Amino acid sequence: MKLDPDWLPDDDFPADPVCDLRTKDNVLSTWVLSEDDGNLERLVAGLAVAREKLTKFDWAIFDTDLLDELGIEERQTQGQGCPDIELCRDFHYHLTNISANRLVRLAKAISAQRELKRLNPQDVAICIARALHNGWLTHADINPKIAKRLERIRKVRDLFPDLEWTTQ
């Protein structure tokens, strides 16, 4: 997505980044990257395996100092929807007290930092395969549709020839 569409006046802001920050009960679920991004592949894999299909994976990196500026509180919680229990326990945070105004201001601040990242589906597949290889996930953790797709990706099979696939 183009962050600054030509049609948008300088004093305005696109709606899509706000919609990307989906809240529930005025809370935004977030994940923390380690300083060296060492948990990135594990995060991607843990979140991607529960999806319906293997797709691109987008995320934004932002300085948590801006949370104080916006009056948004953060608290570490047990993450949901991720089968990697250790990951959910150690790297999941809820951002709380999110009003509509704060959400828009947060989306603006994140977009202004320009730390928007994307992995293509093949790279997401490699993250999942590495998580299996390292024992962070098991085959039982993976949506069967995604497991079938992983088997068909030659690069995954080439990088991890010893992985045993449970589907045929």
Condensed to tens digits (0 to 9), the pLDDT of residues 10-62 reads: 777 777 777 788 889 999 999 998 888 789 999 999 999 989 999 999 888 88
Instruction: Say how far apart CA 12 and CA 48 lie, in whole Å.
Output: 33
Condensed to tens digits (0 to 9), the pLDDT of residues 61-80 reads: 888 888 999 999 999 998 88
Query: What percentage of the chain's residues is helix, strand, coil (to nearest 5)?
Result: 45, 15, 45
Burial class from Cβ neighbours inside 10 Å (0-12, 13-18, 19+) for residue 126 reads: buried
Domain residue limits, the chain: 16-120
The one-character DSSP state at 79 is -
SS3 95: strand
Nearest to 19 by CA among 64, 77, 58: 58
Condensed to tens digits (0 to 9), the pLDDT of residues 108-124 reads: 888 887 788 889 999 99
Q: What is the pTM of this model?
A: 0.82
pLDDT value, residue 24: 92
